[in-house]
Amino acid sequence: MNLNGEVIEFSAYKQLGQGAINGKDVVGNVVWYAKDHNDLYDFGKYDSTLSSLKQMGNTNTVKAREEGKETDWNTFMNANVVYDLTDTDALKVGESAPVYTFYWDKTAQAAVVYKDHNDDNNDVKIVECAFVVDDTVKYGEFKVDGAKYWYPVETETGDAIKYTLKDLDDAFNAAKYHITDKAGKTELIANDAKFAFAANGEYRTVKHTDAVVGTITAVTGTLSADGKTLTVPYGTEIATTLINAPGADVKVDGSKLVLTYTSATCDCTTVVEINVVVTAAVYSVTLEQSYNATDAETELTVQLSTDAQFDVDNGGKIIVYKSSTSDGAGAVYWDSSIGGGEITTKTSGYYYAVAFNSANEVIGQSAHLFVPNDGTIG
């Protein structure tokens, strides 16, 4: 429609190229356009701004306050140039939009259009007209870092209206910020995240930076290449002193070390967890042989240290392997958990015994023992 309130044409426009205005950008803005003989359009944003409107008592004067930073009720106009666009379905081409009727219990949100003027008093905005686009919102003033902002903060049904910091002020770039209110609640605003600013609320912003995770080294044991596992000797108590982690708050959580790093600019933290693996005990295991001439066989006996015997007796086991070489891996020859009984052989070869605890961890291994099985001792 034109600035006299007459409906000219209903269309959706998109202009390509520099300074393009797409459908999303047009929302909340007044757009001028010119159509040439080929029905092509050249158009851009008119000098207008979203504002809240309020009728001054029973007079014909309306005052407006622009949405944005550090604004005030300093724009005035006649009520008869405030047009109602809250129901565009009722508008018809060639007719004029109705003049908006102000209600005491509603806040009108309008696009206020300003006149072009070339006088020396350019700090004074002269109003051409205003188009009311929504009267179902409630405005509120709130402070961010001490600056005043004026925006719709909720709908007439009480639902909060949320904004990104960049929605409020282009000074906030695409970086991440924290917003903290007086109650100490902190919320991260990142990219397109939105926050519900309350009327009369006071907030401060803190720019977010990630916590820096420093170099972690093992004081006891061996730290894996990915830094996720610390292997320590049997009997080592899990404690914060097992590692050196400058800048981290280290705590023990069961079999883990939990490292918490705090950002230098905000309260954000980065948590690193290290699994602590305590190796199984290594105890003395020996394998002995004696020859039974009557049966022409060799009897093998496994000797365990006291600690190894304890672990075997409490859910562990012994396996004797037979190998063809003096230091190679062998096949299972005898397993105490499967039948048990005496260990005898009539076959020569290299034998060795391995002791396991209840977790099936190796707790000791004997040397390879050569058994000739010919009446001599290898």
Residue pair 21/48 in contact (Cβ under 8 Å)? The answer is no
Produce one character per residue of 244-274: b if its CB has 16 or more CB atoms within 10 Å, e if not.
ebeebebeeeeeebbbebebeebebeeebeb
Write down the pLDDT at residue 32: 63
> Helix-strand-coil percent breakdown of the chain, rounded to 5?
5, 45, 50
Q: List all residues 6 or more positions away from 205 whose beta carbon is below 8 Å from its beta carbon.
A: 144, 145, 165, 172, 177, 178, 179, 180
Structure tokens of 129? 């007209």
What is the rounded distance in angstroms from the CA atom of residue 47 to the CA atom of residue 346? 105
Question: Phi first, then psi: what are they for 167, rounded to 5°?
Answer: -60, -35
pLDDT by residue for the chain (378 residues), tens only, comes to: 778 888 876 655 554 333 444 544 555 667 666 666 776 666 666 778 899 999 998 889 999 999 999 999 999 999 999 999 988 888 888 888 999 999 877 789 999 998 865 555 555 568 889 999 999 999 999 999 999 999 999 998 999 999 999 889 888 887 888 898 877 777 888 767 889 999 999 999 888 889 999 999 999 999 999 999 999 987 789 999 999 999 999 999 999 999 999 998 888 899 999 999 988 778 899 999 999 988 889 999 999 999 899 999 999 999 999 999 999 899 999 999 987 789 999 999 999 999 999 989 889 999 999 999 876 664
Q: What is the DSSP letter of 314?
A: T
CA dihedral 233, 235, 236, 237 (to 10 degrees): 160
pTM here is 0.63
Write down the pLDDT at residue 16: 38
Residue pair 13/33 in contact (Cβ under 8 Å)? The answer is yes
Write down the pLDDT at residue 316: 94
Q: What is the DSSP letter of 316?
A: -
Q: Which residue has the tokens 């909060």?
A: 160
Alpha-carbon distance values, 74 to 54, 119, 230 (Å): 11, 19, 67
